[in-house]
Amino acid sequence: MWYKSAIGYQIYPKSFKSIDSSVGTIKGITSKLDYLKDLGIDLIWICPIFDSPMDDNGYDIRDYYKINPDYGTMEDVKEMITKAHNLGLKIIFDLVLNHTSIEHEWFKKSCAKDPYYDDFYIWSKEKYNWGSFFGGSAFSYNEERKEYFLHIFSDKMPDLNWKSINLKKEVKKIIKYYLALGIDGFRLDAISHLCKKKLENTTPINKDLVYDYSLFSNLKEVHNILKEFKREIFSHYNIMTIGEIGGNPTIKQALDYCNDELDMVYTFGFTNCAKVDLHNMSSNKMDVKAMRNLISAYQNELNEKGWMGLYLTNHDIERAMSLYGDMDYFIESGSMLAVLMYMLKGTPFIYNGEEIGMTNYPFKKVSDFDDVRIRTTYKLNTTLSEEEFVNAVKDTSRDNARTIMQWDDSEYAGFSSSKPWFHINPNYKTINVKKEEQEERSLLNEYKKIIKLRKSLTQITQSYYEEIMLDERIISYKRGNLLIICNCTNNVITLNNLPNVKRVLYNNYNNFHDYKVIEPYQAYVMEVE
């Protein structure tokens, strides 16, 4: 169960670090392993690096056995794994099993009704009224086969049919191939969607498109598949698996995946606790009550069973600093958010750039975006002008998280020596790794302290979680004899009900004056009586 005490770090390879190219590369990642080690990371999750036409930046896989040539070669991957292991770092790959690219050989053969591949995808004579995650119908017509195929994401990402015995056989081979290469586990993409309800029009029947994700989320058959994988493969290796559990599961539904299936789940709620008025930048943006209730609901269940990934941002969400942080209290709010998440039960996953407080990008026009979801929704949009559309999507766009990693203040932010494939946030001159490494007081250095502290405290992996109500603007909880206090607002708050403090282990403000007076975004980890 090494993964329980591990600190995870998520890499979006296309934007992380390039060597001799305009896109990130595997060698680029290898060159930054020392940086990750120094940060205190134990476990790296790399978003898909397989051969892909990149409709969805690698989540549309063309060949599972080949590395995207823009990123490098299988030799580069082996070198990266070896170097990581030598440093004591583990690496997990992002495995997409819900769908492939339309350019995958399986799909081509299935279109041609090759008997072995005939049932690899979900084919239908009829088109039904199901809406897809990326907007528009979930059914598209294939001229060659003269049938519709189901795709719950883009029309270039056909869903695999998990009732197919041959498909399962092929997937098991892929999993074993990568385990033989020495990787330490998988993040299983969109895994809660593998099974679908019967194909038929859904209610309201007379509506052209119904966006009802329960049609293809968290159905009971998916558990049988994962139990089989666990029994036959995963349990024979010293690895970890984390499944992305979407489709709005209940907490119980999400944690059910930890029952002889996956080691931990990755669900969505913590990124959905913003106040609706995101644009009122003058006040705090977290709905503290919603966040506290959600944390407690999950953690109370986890006291009994299961394990989860802890995160506030990833490649599908805006930047945490823009979502919940406060630029007027950059270091304080950034480090408070880290304490809030990483002292909980679960395995933290820091998203690349979060440790330096990278922020959302100032998108201005539709052509500024790369994301297939934005492109699809814009095509379908009939009511909004371009300006209105951009204003509606710019804060929440997935592209905010996909801008170039800010390593230093040189021309291309230390990412590459030629113009990168995507935007660099104009604030890279002030928010970058090099600068924050050099400054004694920086968000990066607070992250290092928080990570080191977490690793030194067995209570964080072992002790029960207990919510403590100190003030409605504060999220506070106990882990054994530890009390964690996070002021999620820019208010100064005076506490009248603080337990007796024995020792302060972490305080994100330099100067101590009075424990009872909590400064804006102040975070404490303390031993109490």
The footprint of ligand GLC on residues 79-98 (CB under 6 A) is 96
Judged by CB under 6 A, how many residues of this single chain contact ligand GLC?
9
> What distances in angstroms separate CA 64 from CA 104, 117, 200, 285, 318, one per listed residue?
9, 16, 31, 41, 28
Task: Kindly provide the b/e burial profile for residues 93-121, where b requires at least 16 CB atoms within 10 angstroms of the residue's own CB.
Answer: bbbbbbbbbbbbebbeebbeeeeebbbbb
Q: How many residues does the chain have?
A: 529
Q: Which of 179, 190, 222, 251 binds ligand GLC (CB under 6 A)?
A: 190
Task: Clarify whether 244 is annotated catalytic.
Answer: yes
Task: Report the phi/psi class of residue 247: left, alpha or beta, with left for phi > 0 and alpha for psi in -120 to 50.
Answer: left
Give the nearer residue to ligand GLC in terms of CB position, either 193 or 394: 193
CA-wise closest residue to 236 among 175, 169, 309: 175
Give the nearer residue to ligand GLC in terms of CB position, either 97 or 336: 97
Report helix, strand or coil for 130: strand
Query: Can you read off the two tokens belonging to residue 387?
Result: 């300006």
Give the nearer residue to ligand GLC in terms of CB position, either 189 or 446: 189
Task: Clarify whether 354 is annotated catalytic.
Answer: no
Minimum Å distance from CB 50 to ligand GLC?
12
Rg (CA), the chain: 23
Beta-bridged to residue 8, according to DSSP, are: 43, 349
C-alpha 106/C-alpha 93 separation (Å) is: 21
Give the nearer residue to ligand GLC in terms of CB position, either 106 or 428: 106
Is the alpha carbon torsion for 238, 239, 245, 250 positive or negative? positive
Give the nearer residue to ligand GLC in terms of CB position, either 9 or 447: 9
The footprint of ligand GLC on residues 312-341 (CB under 6 A) is 315-316
Minimum Å distance from CB 351 to ligand GLC?
12
Minimum Å distance from CB 154 to ligand GLC?
8
Give the nearer residue to ligand GLC in terms of CB position, either 96 or 336: 96
CB 351 within 8 A of CB 311: yes
Minimum Å distance from CB 373 to ligand GLC?
7
Residue 252-291 contact track with ligand GLC, rule CB under 6 A, x = bound: ----------------------------------------
Contact residues for 436 (Cβ-Cβ < 8 A; gap 6+): 356, 442, 443, 444, 445
Residue 194-233 contact track with ligand GLC, rule CB under 6 A, x = bound: ----------------------------------------
Check binding of 153 to ligand GLC (CB under 6 A). Answer: yes
Q: Which of 60, 76, 244, 263 is catalytic?
A: 244
The footprint of ligand GLC on residues 38-57 (CB under 6 A) is 56
Minimum Å distance from CB 505 to ligand GLC?
34
Contact residues for 198 (Cβ-Cβ < 8 A; gap 6+): none
Q: Which of 56, 60, 189, 355 is catalytic?
A: 189
Catalytic residues: 189, 244
Which chain residues interact with ligand GLC by CB under 6 A?
Answer: 56, 59, 96, 153, 189-190, 244, 315-316
